[in-house]
A and B are shown apart, each in its own frame.
Chain A
Amino acid sequence: MNIVVCVKYVPDAQGDRAFEADHTTDREAVDGLLSELDEYAVEEALKIVEAGEGEVTVLTMGPEDAATAVKKSLQMGADKGVHVLDDAIAGSDSVATSLILAEAIRKIGDVDLVLTGLASTDGVMSVVPAMLAERLGMPQVTFASELTVEDGSVTIRRDNEAFSETVEASLPAVVSVTDQINEPRYPSFKGIMAAKKKPVETWGLADLGVDVAHVGLGASWTMVTDTQARPPREAGQVVTDEGQGGEALAQFLADRRLA
């Protein structure tokens, strides 16, 4: 079982995230890290391989610092890493991202399962897994809160507001997992030491046969025309309950015609 886990290096959501003058995400102002939601995908890949056999390759794209996301995944236990690094990538949107990742997955080759998180914690679009499936011609089995892989097929539970669905497909497939699926492990000391010896390949767009005209900010099929910090909410009224807090709350709602 050969598993590729796609991971993203994102600005820490706890920091004050902001935009650059060209409306791309400011990746300097706030420290970056492996997107928290991708840890669930790494964990699930490790569990599948540990229960059977196989190899976990972690794949990322992005600036040099993005190697941090690969490193953390290797420390958790992934076997090897691929980092697509190319100046032309900066500003790529979901369409270009899916193109680059799909070509990298093709180059890795002989892949049974492509695993991702449910969204990145910066863009939060949740569309790249579906786009990857579209580009790779693989079945899309996404938003898995439970996952079983056996006999060349994958079965998941997918929850939405109205239904809980069971979805099946044969491998190879693209699977995204939610934060309900497992508890990601922390890297052990042994894992941290072992990660230093694990192979990480760095590929440029030319290695993937991707035309630079199809990626980056200039190639985007959408144009961000403005990014505005939301004006701080006007300071509200905060009172301490001294016995009438509930009545005050009801009064506030009545005044606003909300109750």
Chain B
Amino acid sequence: MSEVLVLVDHVDGAVRKTTAEMLTAARRLGEPSAVFVGQGYAAAKDDLARYGAATVYLAEDAVFTDHLVAPVAELLAELVSRTSPAAVLIASTNDGKEVAGRLAIKTGSGIVTDAVDVQQVDGGVGTTQSVFAGNYTVTTTVTKGTPVVTVKPNSIAAEEAPATPSEESVWVEVSEGARAARVTARAEKEKSDRPSLTEAAIVVSGGRGTAGDFGPVEAFADALGAAVGASRAAVDAGWYPHSHQVGQTGVSVSPQLYVAAGISGAIQHRAGMQTSKTIVAVNKDEEAPIFELVDFGIVGDLFTVLPQATDTVQQSKG
């Protein structure tokens, strides 16, 4: 059975959920080999084994993390030529997509980004993407080279398949060109107790209707164990950090439940949330386009509706 390379998405060894999702998808195509780049493997080891990595390639040298994207692409190109994998799966993050783009050029391979599903099909690897702000579903087959696919977080249900991976340190002589962009500082962002936006099962977002007060949005999010998002209008107004922006130029989310509070539902916002399984909206304006998308909508003031919903949820939890 062919190997399938999975580039592990992690922060200092804390494996992100996407990695388990990619290992699950990889098992449909062949035998998953995890490629772990950077420090912290000890913390990641159990997770990779639990989701079925048969092999782990370890690239712990600082050269791979001290420079932007290019050295990792060179490493993967080397592994592709060595192992002739059935596919390479990479998380659809900014870094991940750029690694994929460079790898596709280096290896003369077809690339698909933001896949929400990956399957074995006649003639190779088939993917599904959601495009035009989620209004269209596109299926694609890679027809040349080693399929390079970036997988959108929260799209494929992770399933455990315990394995005992063999471990192998790998090394590639990184070219001078790939070392040209240097990461000279890396500041960790303030850690929040809330789940991360792309991984959360529930997201509660606030928009213009909050008038700058995200209190009720955060309180409802906490009652549900949810991540907090914001519309572009709220971010541009300086009410919430850009890292929480849901939409075309922010984060694209696909949770089980998406709650839009005081968000009209402009196309820029829909692009980032339309594939959510269940959508709920609270908005004073009954004409707001967001109501076209909802499973349940309330025409009302978020400052009364959300606190009441928060109280009711908390009471039911006892």
* A interface residues, Cβ below 8 angstroms from B: 13-14, 17-19, 23, 37, 94-95, 98, 118, 121-122, 124-131, 133-135, 137-143, 145, 155, 158-170, 173, 178-180, 220-230, 233, 236-241, 244-254, 256, 258-259
Contact = CB atoms under 8 A, between A and B. Distances in A.
A221 B148 CA distance: 11
A160 B95 contact: yes
Given A161-B93, A167-B182, A239 B11 contact: no
B198 to A, nearest CB: 7
Contact of B299 (A143, A227, A239): A239
B184 interface: yes
Given A221-B144, A222-B110, A225-B140, A236 B294 contact: yes
B7 interface: no
A161 B196 contact: yes
Nearest to A250: B312
B155 to A, nearest CB: 15
A240 B305 CA distance: 11
Size class of the contact patch on chain B: 35 or more
A81 B260 CA distance: 42
A168 B181 contact: yes
A141 B181 contact: yes
Interface stretch (B43-51, B165-173, B185-193): B185-193
A169 B184 CA distance: 10
A161 B198 contact: yes
Given A163-B188, A236-B291, 14 more contacts: A13-B248, A122-B132, A133-B70, A139-B70, A159-B243, A167-B68, A178-B249, A221-B142, A226-B139, A238-B294, A238-B299, A239-B298, A246-B307, A250-B312
Given A159-B243, A230-B136, A130 B101 contact: yes
A238 B298 contact: yes
Interface stretch (B20-28, B29-37, B80-88, B278-286): B278-286
A152 to B, nearest CB: 13
Summarize A's interface: helix, strand, loop or mixed: mixed
A140 B308 contact: no
Closest 7 CB pairs of A and B: A246-B308, A241-B300, A127-B101, A221-B110, A139-B180, A250-B312, A130-B98
A37 B248 CA distance: 10
B89 interface: no
B30 to A, nearest CB: 19
A13 B279 CA distance: 22
B159 to A, nearest CB: 20
Contacts of B271: 13, 124
B267 A162 contact: no
A130 B69 CA distance: 9
Contacts of B300: 240-241, 245
Contact of B182 (A125, A168, A225): A168
B308 A247 contact: yes
Q: Which of B98, B101, B311 has the largest number of chain A CB atoms within 10 A? A: B101
Given A126-B98, A239-B298, A245-B300, A227 B138 contact: yes
A202 B183 CA distance: 38
Contact of A160 (B73, B93, B99, B305): B93
A23 B140 CA distance: 10
Interface in B117-154: 126, 130-145
Interface in B65-84: 68-70, 73
A124 B94 CA distance: 12
B211 interface: no
Contact of B138 (A23, A135, A158): A23
A155 to B, nearest CB: 8
Contacts of A170: 180
B177 interface: yes
A229 B135 contact: yes
Contact of A131 (B102, B242, B256): B102
A167 B183 contact: yes
A57 to B, nearest CB: 23
A165 B110 contact: no
B263 interface: no
